[in-house]
Amino acid sequence: MTADEYLYETEERNRPMELEFGLLREPPSPFYSHQTLVLRIAQLLTFAGQGLGHVAVAPLDVVLDRERALIVQPDVLFVSNERQSIIRDQIWGAPDLVVEVLSSGTEQHDRHAKRGWYRQYGVREYWLVDPKQTQLTILDFTGALPAERIVRGGRAARSSVLPDLVVKSFEIFG
């Protein structure tokens, strides 16, 4: 399937769908606990990013590479005001910050394939939220090598995309 077929010939749905190099992937709908975390994180980013950019939640297509038919739907994303031109009916390019809440069906894919794509296509910061371990891994892709910060327990970490945001695990996991 081409990116244009995916974008313009499939019907709009509220189910997750992604196009990975021409292959349509339809993971199962997320559980309630997953969506609760997605909403908490979206609220956290909306508050921290107030006036700085735009927050959105899945399902929303992010076209990373139209020619190679790579379209993903991250759980939560943030696009800065400086880059808001990439926001149309879909997001056309890499968001500044992407969040994936891990689940048993998507964990390996999120940790490996998506991590590589997000770095390759210009995402500045990638959060992996692990409900089983009650930890957040923040990957900063702005340097030559990714910097990794792990947030669990009472520890806190600062976002490089939203520098006024200091994240503590209790804010995410309750």
Break the chain into its structural domains and give their ranges.
Answer: 3-173
- 33 burial (CB, 10 Å; 0-12 / 13-18 / 19+) is exposed
What is the C-alpha to C-alpha distance for residues 148 and 133, in angstroms, rounded to an integer? Answer: 16
Q: In the prediction, which pLDDT does 29 show?
A: 87
pLDDT tens for each residue of 158-167:
999 999 999 9
* Share of residues in the chain with pLDDT > 70 (%): 100
User: What count of Cα atoms within 13 Å lies in the side-chain half-sphere of residue 121?
Assistant: 24
What is the C-alpha to C-alpha distance for residues 6 and 27, in angstroms, rounded to an integer? Answer: 16
15 has a pLDDT exceeding 90: no
Q: In the prediction, which pLDDT does 12 show?
A: 85
Chain mean pLDDT for the chain: 95
The band of 13, judged by pLDDT with boundaries at 50, 70 and 90, is confident
Q: How far is CA 162 from CA 26, 47, 102, 149, in A?
A: 31, 11, 22, 15
Q: In the prediction, which pLDDT does 114 show?
A: 98
More confident residue, 171 or 93: 93
The band of 58, judged by pLDDT with boundaries at 50, 70 and 90, is very high
Q: In the prediction, which pLDDT does 126 show?
A: 98
Looking at the DSSP bridge assignments, the partners of residue 101 are 129
What is the C-alpha to C-alpha distance for residues 151 and 85, in angstroms, rounded to an integer? Answer: 32
The number of angstroms, rounded, from the C-alpha of 86 to the middle of its chain's C-alpha atoms is 15
Q: In the prediction, which pLDDT does 14 show?
A: 83
Specify the CATH class of 3-173 in words: alpha beta
The number of angstroms, rounded, from the C-alpha of 97 to the middle of its chain's C-alpha atoms is 7
Q: In the prediction, which pLDDT does 4 show?
A: 96
The band of 146, judged by pLDDT with boundaries at 50, 70 and 90, is very high
Q: pTM for the full model?
A: 0.95
pLDDT, average across residues 130-153: 94
More confident residue, 12 or 60: 60
Looking at the DSSP bridge assignments, the partners of residue 6 are none
